[in-house]
Amino acid sequence: MILLSDHLKETFGCKVYKIALNGGFTCPNRDGSVSEGGCIFCSAGGSGEFAGDPELSITEQIERGKGRVAAKIRTGKYIAYFQAYTGTYAPVGRLRQLYTEAMDHPDVAVLSVATRPDCLPDEVVSLLAELNRIKPVWVELGLQTIHESTARYIRRGYELDVYDSAVRRLREHGLEVITHVILGLPGESREDMLKTVRYVCETGATGIKLQLLHILKGTDLEKEYLAGRVSVLTEDEYIDILKDCVSLIPDNVIVHRLTGDGDKKLLVAPLWSADKKHVINRIRRCVIE
pLDDT per position as a tens digit, 212-241: 999 999 999 999 999 999 999 999 999 999
pLDDT band at 262 (very low <50, low <70, confident <90, very high): confident
CATH of the domain at 66: 3.20.20.70
Q: Report the chain's C-alpha Rg in angstroms.
A: 18
CB 116 within 8 A of CB 85: no
CB 85 within 8 A of CB 119: no
Q: Return the axis-axis angle of helices 190-202 and 235-248, rounded to nearest 10°.
A: 30
- Encode pLDDT of 19-52 as tens digits: 999 999 999 988 888 888 889 998 776 565 677 8
The CA distance from 240 to 193, in Å, is 12
% pLDDT > 90, the chain: 84
Regarding beta strands 108-115 and 137-144, do their DSSP bridges make them parallel or antiparallel, or are they unpaired?
Answer: parallel
The CA distance from 148 to 250, in Å, is 25
Angle at 179 between CA 177 and CA 184, to 5 degrees: 175
End-to-end CA distance of the chain: 10
> Would you give the DSSP letter of residue 127?
H
Question: Is-above-0.85 flag for pTM?
Answer: yes
| Strand intervals (E) in the chain | 16-21, 77-82, 108-115, 137-144, 176-183, 207-212, 215-216, 254-257, 267-269
Q: Which domain holds residue 199?
A: 4-288
Q: How many domains does the chain have?
A: 1
CB 196 within 8 A of CB 146: yes
